[in-house]
């Protein structure tokens, strides 16, 4: 038990040295030695196995959602798509072609006329056309009706087949899409694991993309000084020290308050902060140490809008 309490006390000291809350006015919480970290860090995987045939991604490339970054050999699904398109066209032509229907209907009308003419002849002179012949004439009429019905049925089946072939085209398109690696978020490529000509397995990460326009700043508050309700969703100002003593400030807001209180009575909070660039480089970078000031007296909206933040 003594060892347990000693371990907890040591952990508490480590936490306090990591991000200690400094004295300040009651409406402001000041945190020092806070850690800057990523919000979005994605390793883009291959969905199917195959040879990597093209690679647009490279370290340092700024990308937007949907940007094509790499492609796995898609020759087979391309051929399957071409076949499916041809089959779809043939089936569609059959479904739209009503020649057999019209021919069967025309044949039926001619057979009916022939039957009625002979029927009228029998009415004038009984027995002019033998009964067996009249039955054959009526059978021809019925045969024409059945042929028309069959032709309509075949046309309906062809329409269903057309839908099936359209689905085969969609399936081929999906297989082609699965071989295209696209950026899942706005960010920067920081690592590329494979090169063109190499074989990748399904699930292998091919590249790593991180989002740098918005970052997370994490720190600790003492539960005795500020309650979670005082700091949640509050605006923050983050200061970082750059080379040669230069200090830069960034705006953001608290987006998470950990409900768990750690040893020593401290709980973790983090803010989402809007980053900016100087030249071609981001000023705020993951791994940096920062100081954070929380305005506990007001609620905040993140610059650029929360909705915009979620959509990126």
Residue 274 falls inside a structural domain = yes
What's the pLDDT at 193? 96
**Does position 307 have pLDDT exceeding 60, yes or no?**
no
d(CA 40, CA 42): 6
Among 3-12, 83-92, 95-104, 213-222, the range scoring the smallest mean pLDDT is: 3-12
Range of the domain at 121: 75-178
Determine what percent of the chain is predicted with pLDDT higher than 90. Answer: 54
Residue 248 falls inside a structural domain = yes
What's the pLDDT at 113? 86
Whether residue 170 sits in one domain with residue 244? no
Residue 101 pLDDT grade (very low, low, confident, very high; cuts 50, 70, 90): confident
What's the pLDDT at 165? 86
pLDDT tens for 290-302 read 999 999 876 666 6
Residue 241 falls inside a structural domain = yes
Domain count, the chain: 3
Which residues face 267 on adjacent strands?
221, 261
Query: Is-contact 253 234, C-beta < 8 A?
Result: yes
Whether residue 159 sits in one domain with residue 101? yes
pTM: 0.69
What's the pLDDT at 184? 95
**Does position 8 have pLDDT exceeding 70, yes or no?**
no
What's the pLDDT at 178? 95
Residue 2 falls inside a structural domain = no
**Does position 12 have pLDDT exceeding 70, yes or no?**
no
Residue 125 falls inside a structural domain = yes
Whether residue 139 sits in one domain with residue 200? no
d(CA 156, CA 280): 62
| Residue 282 tokens, joined | 């981001």
**Does position 276 have pLDDT exceeding 70, yes or no?**
yes
As a whole number, mean pLDDT of residues 107-126 equals 81
Greater confidence (224 vs 302) lies with: 224
Greater confidence (244 vs 179) lies with: 179
Q: Three-state SS for 143?
A: helix
What's the pLDDT at 11? 40
Cα Rg of the chain, angstroms:
38
Residue 28 falls inside a structural domain = yes
Among 6-10, 197-201, 270-274, 276-280, the range scoring the smallest mean pLDDT is: 6-10
d(CA 200, CA 202): 7
d(CA 201, CA 8): 45
d(CA 88, CA 228): 62
Residue 94 pLDDT grade (very low, low, confident, very high; cuts 50, 70, 90): confident
Q: Which CA distances in Å does 232 have to 84, 256, 259, 298?
A: 56, 7, 11, 10
Q: Are strands 214-222 and 266-274 parallel, antiparallel or unpaired?
A: antiparallel
| C-alpha angle 282-241-21 in degrees, rounded to nearest 5 | 115
| Residue 57 tokens, joined | 């991604």
Nearest to 61 by CA among 212, 205, 169: 212
Whether residue 260 sits in one domain with residue 221? yes
């Amino acid at each position: 038990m003594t060892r347990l309490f000693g371990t907890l006390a040591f952990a508490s000291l480590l936490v306090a040295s990591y991000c200690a809350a400094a004295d300040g006015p009651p409406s402001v919480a000041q945190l020092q030695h806070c850690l800057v970290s990523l919000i979005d860090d994605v390793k883009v995987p291959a969905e199917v196995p195959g040879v990597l045939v093209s690679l647009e991604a490279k370290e340092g490339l700024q990308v937007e959602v949907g940007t094509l970054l790499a492609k796995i050999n898609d020759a087979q699904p391309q051929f399957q798509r071409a076949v499916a398109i041809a089959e779809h066209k043939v089936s569609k032509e059959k479904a739209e072609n009503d020649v057999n229907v019209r021919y069967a209907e025309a044949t039926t009308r001619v057979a009916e006329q022939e039957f009625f003419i002979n029927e009228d002849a029998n009415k004038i002179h009984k027995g002019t056309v033998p009964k067996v012949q009249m039955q054959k004439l009526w059978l021809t009429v019925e045969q024409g009706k059945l042929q028309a019905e069959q032709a309509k049925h075949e046309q309906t089946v062809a329409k269903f087949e057309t839908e099936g072939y359209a689905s085969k085209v969609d399936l081929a398109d999906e297989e082609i899409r699965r071989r295209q690696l696209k950026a899942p978020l706005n960010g920067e490529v920081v690592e590329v694991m494979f090169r063109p000509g190499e074989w990748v397995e399904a699930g292998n990460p091919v590249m790593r993309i991180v989002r740098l326009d918005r970052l997370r700043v994490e720190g600790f508050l003492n539960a005795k000084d500020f309650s979670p309700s005082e700091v949640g969703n509050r605006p923050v100002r983050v200061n970082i020290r750059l080379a040669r003593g230069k200090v830069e400030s960034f705006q953001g807001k608290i987006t998470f308050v950990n409900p768990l209180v750690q040893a020593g009575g401290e709980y973790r909070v983090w803010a989402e902060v809007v980053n900016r660039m100087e030249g071609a480089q981001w000023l705020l970078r993951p791994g940096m140490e920062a100081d954070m000031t929380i305005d506990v007296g007001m609620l905040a909206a993140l610059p650029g809008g929360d909705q915009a933040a979620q959509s990126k």
